[in-house]
Structure 1
Amino acid sequence: MRKFSLLTFLLLLSTFLCLGVGTAFGGSNGNINSAAVQVNVTNQNPDTARPGEPVELTLSVQNIGNDDLKDIKVALNPEYPFSKLSGEDLEKSISYLNARQDDDDAGVLKFKLMTDANASEGTYDLDIVTTYKSGSSSNTITTTKTIQLEVQGKEYAQVVTVSKADIDIAKEEPLEFIVTNTGTSPLKNLVFSWNDPKGVVLPVYSDNTKHIKYLEAGQSVKVDYTVMADVSATPGLYTLNVNLSYEDADSNSKNIQTTAGLFVGGTTDFDVSFSESSAGETSFSVANVGNNIAYAVKVSIPDQDGYKISGSSSTIVGNLEKGDYTIASFDVSNSQGGNSQGGAGGNTTGNGPGTPPDSSQAGANNASSNSIGSSDPLKVQIEYTDAKGERETVTKEVNLETTTSGNMTAAGGPGGPGNRAGVGSYLPYIGLLVLAGGIFVYRKKIHERIQARKGKQSEYKKPDSEV
């Protein structure tokens, strides 16, 4: 009985020892083995897969069993973000492997896979499928091993937008750049800068360099500047050289260079003032008071209450450089009829409110073409083509008054308030002429009398010889 128990114990112990050896050969311990095959990744190039780039894997296929193996096939079963690389096989074969191989005797297989360009940073699984036949059996054995590959995020940034396409000359203008991390890995220690090679556009209140400490994947940041274009700049499109440098995950510095276009020049402004009025025409001085040239300038008097234009209501004066001016003339009269009151409703005939004018006053009013007070401004419209080739319109107002003959004068100038009574406005000049004529006649008569008296005295006075 004891012998049987001892024999039973030894048999069981042998069974457990065999199972332990089998476990040693077939256990994973990071490797996927069949009963006798062990597959390991001995090298990966690059060490961390990069989006949009291939990754090469070197596999060691070792027979650690007691039987020789034949028809060994090793295949990769890639899933996102890995895929088959054009021209490369996903399955490779080894015809024969001897039993109990050393590491130096193992078979070596190389595979290449493509990493998706938009892969995010992280660790991904990859299955390796191995099939083979044992020398002592015709059965095919299949095993699968799952390994993990690390993918480094895509490190890339770009200047997505520039807030302005044009700036005016000699004017402080805001300029905003938006920098976006379009990769899948964060960026750190970014340095953004730009410059105009011609030196026309320059930053004010700061230099041209901005620092960004950290930028997450997919995140955007605004980089603000205040810029100004040289007052003597020629309108046109200027190139901005944009530079962006940053550090990758390995603290290696990378640099991105690009360009942006910025148009310098744009609209301008005008000043319109009364010039003179004569022969039924009213003239205006039109000056370009902005910093840009105005092309094909057209001056018009639009339809408006209180004024009437006889003849053409617009004139083309050509190009106006900044600081230049021109004269535009129009036949402007008051369109209000039946009275000679000012724009504020005041009475200009010298009579009190409600007093009807006499016939002489009525005649003067009819001849005055309905004068209007300075409270009714005349609208002058200016159309021009700016430096960008766009048609612009500016409207200005000019305060005017009319003389008794209907001609326009500047408010408060000759012919202004108090000089609206027709011929009465010329009475001071007539008085002066009459006075000057009277003085001339008077002096002439006095001179004649003196000459007459001298003549009489010479008749009565005898020479000494006659006495």
Structure 2
Amino acid sequence: MKKTIRIILITILIGLNISFIPNILASVPETSVALQVSFAENPVVLAPGSNGYIELILDNIGTETVKYIDIETSNYDKSVITYQGNWDVYIGSLDGGESTTLIYEFSISSSADPGLYQIIFESDSTASDTKITAFIRVEDSSLLDIESVAPSLINIGEISTLTFNISNNGGNSISSILFTWDVEDSLILPIGADNRISIDLIPANNYTKIPVTLMASPTITPGVYPLAITMTYYDETGNIQTITSNVGIQVSGGTDFEIILQQSITGGTTFAVANTGANTASSVIVSIPKQPNYSTSGSSSASLGNLDAGDYTLASFQLTEMNQNNTKRPGFNQEFSNMPSDFDPSMFESMKNKSFGGAMSDNLIVEISYTDLYGLRQIVEKEVKINSMSSSGSSYMASRFGTGDISGKSALSGQQDPIISTGTMYIIIGIVGILMIVLLLQFGKKKKIPYISKIMKGKNNENS
């Protein structure tokens, strides 16, 4: 009986021990050793003559430490790929679950032919020996350049159209190009469109022209402003490429002048010189150049100093009108020829220092030289109608610049002269009188008019 009980107890204990064995085995932890090697990007796309890098990632996906990790490279075309730095790397150990990244820098020869090149990376460690291949794709570069911009100067407040000449100097066509431009503080803005222009396609070794309509703000200060240009496009590999550039645009309001005959008397001729441009003109000099129809006595140039936009000043010259033979036009200061020997010129003494211009209406050429905003000397040539008298000049200057004192930067009075001045009337009467006297003298000699003959006879007796 006791023997039977012992056998039963032993059997029960054996059964309990067997049921606990799977639990005991399950509590024993599993161990593994595994090293994964990969690339962040493969293939790497580059152009001839450019630099690049390969990013190698080592990841211990096991639980045990991987030891004695050594990376070597082989089987690459050294005539195309030139390594930079150390490409044979000893890492050592990498604990389970850890990772590390290695960067392999290199350059592509500028004479490399387009194609696919490879580099083999070999990993040696306690985990396993692994080989992995990196690929480098060499492609012809697609280069966008801004060859030219015309015009390079715009005027303040005027709508201008700039034409950008964009060329593709690479060996591949470029499509879906986005062209954008911008100016700091929005002092130059697009007109009729925004500052973004899409270009469908530029073939290899070709170009396209882009018109951009814009205007410079009236508040802008004249000078040179940079247009920031950005061009983005997708290359042959589908990657976005961005090209930035700055183009200098000269902003100017322009400087121009108007010159009006203000006054012409015996003492001299006065002109009103007005700056009708948007910029200040510095060191302004007005000159009367040599010309067939007019000459000056004394100085032929007058320095006016600086002339702000919208202001004017006066310049005076001793001006004499000439005929086509470069002699003075007829005037009462000249000696008369072919007159009778008994003709007494003293009757005309009262008309001395009088002059008249005759019927000639050739314009006077006037040169205005000045220094612009960029420090360069400029010359503007104007023609003035000498026969437009001071009345028209006064009324024009008064209406354009207002009224006030004649001080060089204030207005002239708007008073106009009569259509025919008193001096002009005297000149006409004098001319008619001279002609009548000459005709009477000549006619009296031929026809023996009694009164004239008597006068002439008396003159002859006195001479004898």
TM over 0.5: yes
Aligned to 1:309: 296
> Displacement, 1:270?
1.2
- CA distances 1:406-465 after superposition (whole Å, capped 9, x unpaired): xxx999764798763475799xxxxxxxxxxxxxxxxxxxxxxxxxxxxxxxxxxxxxxx
Aligned to 1:64: none
Aligned to 1:420: 427
The equivalences for 1:288-303 within 5 A come to: 288-303=275-290
Q: Is the 8 A contact 1:82 1:113 kept in 2?
A: no
CA distance in 1, matches of 2:160, 2:211: 11
- The unaligned stretches of length 5 or more in structure 2 are 1-36, 58-71, 90-101, 121-132, 332-336, 390-415, 434-464
> Displacement, 1:269?
1.5
Paired AA for residue 48 in structure 1: P
Aligned to 2:357: 371
1:395 paired with 2:381, answer yes
CA distance in 1, matches of 2:77, 2:423: 95
Q: Provide closer, same or farther for how the CA distance between residues 339 and 273 of structure 1 changes in structure 2, counting only shifts above 3 A.
A: closer
Given candidates 357, 361, 367, the residue that maps to 1:381 is 367
Q: Secondary structure at the match of 1:382?
A: strand
Q: Is the 8 A contact 1:119 1:154 kept in 2?
A: no
The equivalences for 1:42-441 within 5 A come to: 46-51=41-46, 52-55=51-54, 75-76=74-75, 78=77, 80-88=79-87, 114-116=106-108, 118=110, 122-124=114-116, 150-152=137-139, 154=141, 157-181=144-168, 185-265=172-252, 267-278=254-265, 280-336=267-323, 337=327, 340=330, 367-369=353-355, 371-401=357-387, 414=421, 420-421=427-428, 423=430
Q: Provide closer, same or farther for how the CA distance between residues 419 and 340 of structure 1 changes in structure 2, counting only shifts above 3 A.
A: farther
CA distance in 2, matches of 1:416, 1:201: 56
CA distance in 1, matches of 2:243, 2:328: 77
> Displacement, 1:179?
3.0
Q: Is the 8 A contact 2:42 2:134 kept in 1?
A: no
Q: Secondary structure at the match of 1:291?
A: coil
Paired AA for residue 330 in structure 2: S
Q: Is the 8 A contact 1:245 1:255 kept in 2?
A: yes
Q: Provide closer, same or farther for how the CA distance between residues 338 and 291 of structure 1 changes in structure 2, counting only shifts above 3 A.
A: closer
Paired AA for residue 392 in structure 1: Q
Q: Provide closer, same or farther for how the CA distance between residues 118 and 399 of structure 1 changes in structure 2, counting only shifts above 3 A.
A: same
Paired AA for residue 385 in structure 2: N
Q: Provide closer, same or farther for how the CA distance between residues 118 and 167 of structure 1 changes in structure 2, counting only shifts above 3 A.
A: farther
- CA distances 1:225-251 after superposition (whole Å, capped 9, x unpaired): 133223443212223222222223454
The equivalences for 1:445-456 within 5 A come to: none
Q: Provide closer, same or farther for how the CA distance between residues 339 and 402 of structure 1 changes in structure 2, counting only shifts above 3 A.
A: farther
Q: Secondary structure at the match of 1:198?
A: helix
- CA distances 1:253-308 after superposition (whole Å, capped 9, x unpaired): 44444433322116422111110134512110111222332221111111222322
CA distance in 2, matches of 1:126, 1:248: 21
Q: Is the 8 A contact 2:73 2:119 kept in 1?
A: no
Q: Provide closer, same or farther for how the CA distance between residues 188 and 152 of structure 1 changes in structure 2, counting only shifts above 3 A.
A: same
CA distance in 2, matches of 1:332, 1:339: 12
Work out the percentage of aligned pairs sharing the same amino acid. 28
Q: Secondary structure at the match of 2:44?
A: coil
Q: Secondary structure at the match of 1:244?
A: strand
TM-score, normalization: structure 2? 0.56
Q: Is the 8 A contact 1:179 1:220 kept in 2?
A: yes
CA distance in 1, matches of 2:321, 2:183: 55
Q: Provide closer, same or farther for how the CA distance between residues 76 and 265 of structure 1 changes in structure 2, counting only shifts above 3 A.
A: same
Q: Is the 8 A contact 2:174 2:233 kept in 1?
A: yes
CA distance in 1, matches of 2:418, 2:366: 16
Paired AA for residue 375 in structure 1: S
**More displaced 10-residue stretch of structure 1: 354-363 or 173-182:** 354-363
CA distance in 2, matches of 1:415, 1:79: 102
Q: Is the 8 A contact 1:172 1:228 kept in 2?
A: yes
Q: Is the 8 A contact 2:263 2:269 kept in 1?
A: yes
Q: Provide closer, same or farther for how the CA distance between residues 232 and 276 of structure 1 changes in structure 2, counting only shifts above 3 A.
A: farther
Q: Provide closer, same or farther for how the CA distance between residues 338 and 310 of structure 1 changes in structure 2, counting only shifts above 3 A.
A: closer
TM-score, normalization: structure 1? 0.56
Q: Is the 8 A contact 1:118 1:184 kept in 2?
A: no
Q: Secondary structure at the match of 2:330?
A: coil
CA distance in 2, matches of 1:264, 1:316: 28
Q: Secondary structure at the match of 1:420?
A: helix
CA distance in 2, matches of 1:365, 1:394: 39
> Displacement, 1:54?
3.1
CA distance in 1, matches of 2:277, 2:367: 16
Paired AA for residue 301 in structure 1: I
Q: Provide closer, same or farther for how the CA distance between residues 247 and 328 of structure 1 changes in structure 2, counting only shifts above 3 A.
A: same
| Alignment RMSD | 4.5
Q: Provide closer, same or farther for how the CA distance between residues 251 and 150 of structure 1 changes in structure 2, counting only shifts above 3 A.
A: closer
Q: Is the 8 A contact 2:44 2:135 kept in 1?
A: no
Q: Which has the larger radius of gyration?
A: 1
Q: Provide closer, same or farther for how the CA distance between residues 166 and 316 of structure 1 changes in structure 2, counting only shifts above 3 A.
A: same
Q: Secondary structure at the match of 2:75?
A: strand
- CA distances 1:376-417 after superposition (whole Å, capped 9, x unpaired): 2211110011222221111111122499xxxxx999764798
Paired AA for residue 215 in structure 1: I
